[in-house]
Structure 1
Amino acid sequence: MIEIDDLAGMLGTLCPMFVLVDGGGRIAQVGPTLQKLRPDQPMPGKDFLEVFELVRPRKVSTLAALLSLAGAKLHLRIKGEPHTALKGLIAPLPNGQGAVINLSFGISILDAVRDYALTSADFSGTDLAIELLYLVEAKSAAMEASRSLNLRLQGAMLAAEEQAYTDMLTGLKNRRAMDVLLGHLASGDAPFALMHLDLDFFKSVNDRYGHAAGDYVLQQAACIMVEETRNDDTVARVGGDEFVIIFKHLIDESVLSAIASRLIDRLRQPMIFEGSVCQISASIGTALSTQFQALKAAEILNAADQALYEAKRMGRSRHCLYSSFLGERVQTAQSQASPH
């Protein structure tokens, strides 16, 4: 006759989710994986039906009734949270010594692995659950690798897109980014202002001190423009020493003139590059989207350019707001200056 302890040892190896009940219906031993489901609640010594709730068949209240189900499938769960569904088969022991009930998770194995942090070591080596776990782990690894690759690809795409719309010297938006934003704003209803800024005497800095000094001046000028504008405004370098600032939802002429004055004051302050004093100034022209009935991007850009031309004609280092009268005068002056 096999001793109960020997039987429990063999079952623990072959069926790590077994329940061994004695002739009185009390739990004598349980498999290591089963006990892992309730690590703080030892099961041996308790009545089987005190620990487990029989879902199907329901009308079982004694060991004798349970033993009569030998060979039939049981559907049950451990009482208390979490309510993980279990399936099992019961095998009576000879001479009324009790019974062995072998349990499994069935299709809820993935939930069980998640809820109880189980691994392949918690299952019999011949259990198909191990193969399923390996498949799940392989799928998870593949999905994680795919997610990581997608994130890297998205990051690379965003970086490439950002680079395509960024002036690499100053870190500002470039002409392409300005064109996209301006086209979007021109087709919408939100008011905005466009400020065209040109650095006066920049060429002399390049000619006298070299391109390194010129690059330094451009970078310092870019910092000043960013500091004097809001986070929602867009500052773009659109040419060698030309910049455009787009102010969303701002068309107050007095506010725009004040911003232009601060920019002019700061930009005409000497900039020191490797001991050399670089002196520039700025001429600025501004146009408002509300000055046009059927606004087109090229139209407001041209209007701001005309205002900038007027600021330069008036002596540079100043700001000029566009008006229709100004536009006519600038166009006339430009046509007269052109060779015939």
Structure 2
Amino acid sequence: MRREDLSLLLARLCPMNVMLDRAGRVTHVGPTLQKLRPETLMIGEPFLDHFALIRPRSVTSMAGLLESTGAKLHLRFRDEPETALKGQIVPLDRGEGAVVNLSFGISILEAVKDYDLSSADFSATDLAIELLYLVEAKSAAMEASRTLNQRLQGAMIAAEERAFTDTLTGLKNRRAMNHILSRLLASGAPFALMHLDLDYFKSVNDTLGHAAGDHVLQHVARLMVEETRNDDTVARIGGDEFVLMFRNLHDRDRLNGIADRLIARLEEPIPFGDDICRISASIGTALSAQFRAPDGAQILHAADIALYAAKRQGKACHRFFDQETLGEIDNEIQAPCHTET
């Protein structure tokens, strides 16, 4: 077979072949191998000028390489990137030279990525094609798995969010309040807990209907979010009952100011269609620092007692939990409310 015909045949069957003359100079380069070095002219140059022979170590010259019939070769490109290659050298008839067939071996995945290779760059019978298909299938499966996991995680987060959210107001619900309160107690950071109960809310429901009541609750929720910090917690724990928790806030003057603003704003008329809704609020506050080793039920109960004292004072009031509060309830003492309405 003429060398030209052999070159065409090898280009189809072994697209990473190098044909050498008897002196070890390159006479033909397979199309895939040339694609790895598109700007390098190898033809006419010594094979070992472009490829460094790693093994067999005993071969140190081109003459020795040409005599290594059937030997398995380990090579690399001399220039960057120094891609590792495997190969086998087969002599041509009548000492006309040799053919070196090359492959990437285990570095095929990196090579495909580095050189942007596709199945068209390999022989149809090359096992590398099957490996590439497996890799592509694995990548597709992993991507599908990632997408599914993201969807499942998103659904789980959405479900958890729904489980901790009051559907009417968008505030935290009682379950979320209990969870956050437990975390606050575990952290040991000081905090304040306000229990707010709407005054005259029942009359809104009774006279204007539940739609008006829902409108008022949503208005109250927006107002409380406006009056609190981003890291504070506002939860609706009952029909018209709310709990506000303030991490690292135990200054009574500041807390009293927040309560006064809430009461004042809640007493502003709330339009509902052609009607006006009028409510107010009573608030009781307990401080974690008031207890040696507080638990959730204890501090909630303390805030309830303070709220009860505010209700007995005439509503639209804010009271702190303390021994005086307990005494007032026990003795059914009522005093003028300090909060302006």
TM over 0.5: yes
CA contact (8 A) 2:24 2:66 kept: no
C-alpha distance in 2 between matches for 1:14 and 1:176: 69
C-alpha distance in 2 between matches for 1:27 and 1:333: 109
2:146 is matched with which residue?
Answer: 147
Amino acid at match of 2:73: L
2:318 is matched with which residue?
Answer: 319
Tell me which stretches of 4 or more aligned residues in structure 1 moved more than 6 Å: none
- Aligned-pair RMSD on alpha carbons? 1.9
Change (3 A) 1:244 1:40: farther
* Superposition map of 1:19-168 within 5 A: 19-58=18-57, 60=59, 62-168=61-167
C-alpha distance in 2 between matches for 1:95 and 1:6: 17
For residue 193 of structure 2, give the secondary structure of its aligned residue in structure 1: strand
* Aligned-pair CA distance for 1:287: 0.6
CA contact (8 A) 1:187 1:296 kept: no
C-alpha distance in 2 between matches for 1:147 and 1:295: 44
1:257 is matched with which residue?
Answer: 256
For residue 160 of structure 1, give the secondary structure of its aligned residue in structure 2: helix
Change (3 A) 1:174 1:40: farther
Change (3 A) 1:333 1:33: farther
Change (3 A) 1:19 1:190: same
CA contact (8 A) 1:175 1:236 kept: yes
C-alpha distance in 2 between matches for 1:332 and 1:120: 91
Amino acid at match of 1:91: V
CA contact (8 A) 2:70 2:90 kept: yes
CA contact (8 A) 1:25 1:62 kept: no
* Aligned-pair CA distance for 1:206: 1.6
1:284 is matched with which residue?
Answer: 283
CA contact (8 A) 1:303 1:327 kept: no
For residue 102 of structure 2, give the secondary structure of its aligned residue in structure 1: strand
1:219 paired with 2:218, answer yes
Once structures 1 and 2 are overlaid, which stretch shifts more, 41-50 or 103-112? Answer: 41-50
Amino acid at match of 2:68: L
1:184 is matched with which residue?
Answer: 183
Once structures 1 and 2 are overlaid, which stretch shifts more, 251-260 or 136-145? Answer: 136-145
* Aligned-pair CA distance for 1:201: 1.4
1:275 paired with 2:274, answer yes
TM-score by length of 2: 0.92
For residue 330 of structure 1, give the secondary structure of its aligned residue in structure 2: helix
* Aligned-pair CA distance for 1:136: 1.6
C-alpha distance in 1 between matches for 2:233 and 2:126: 64
* Aligned-pair CA distance for 1:282: 1.6
2:206 is matched with which residue?
Answer: 207
1:338 is matched with which residue?
Answer: none
Change (3 A) 1:284 1:126: same
* Aligned-pair CA distance for 1:145: 1.8
For residue 197 of structure 2, give the secondary structure of its aligned residue in structure 1: strand
For residue 27 of structure 2, give the secondary structure of its aligned residue in structure 1: strand
* Aligned-pair CA distance for 1:55: 0.9
For residue 276 of structure 2, give the secondary structure of its aligned residue in structure 1: strand
Change (3 A) 1:61 1:186: closer
Unaligned regions of 5+ residues in structure 1, if any? Answer: 335-340
> What does the per-residue CA deviation read over 1:80-110, in whole Å, with 9 as the maximum and x for residues that have no partner?
2323221100112233432210001112222
> What does the per-residue CA deviation read over 1:268-323, in whole Å, with 9 as the maximum and x for residues that have no partner?
22221223222211211111000011211111111111111122222222211111
C-alpha distance in 2 between matches for 1:273 and 1:170: 16
* Aligned-pair CA distance for 1:140: 1.8
Unaligned regions of 5+ residues in structure 2, if any? Answer: 334-341
C-alpha distance in 2 between matches for 1:258 and 1:213: 29
Amino acid at match of 2:307: L
C-alpha distance in 1 between matches for 2:117 and 2:248: 58
Change (3 A) 1:327 1:186: farther
CA contact (8 A) 1:196 1:308 kept: yes
Change (3 A) 1:331 1:25: farther
Number of residue-to-residue matches in the alignment: 333
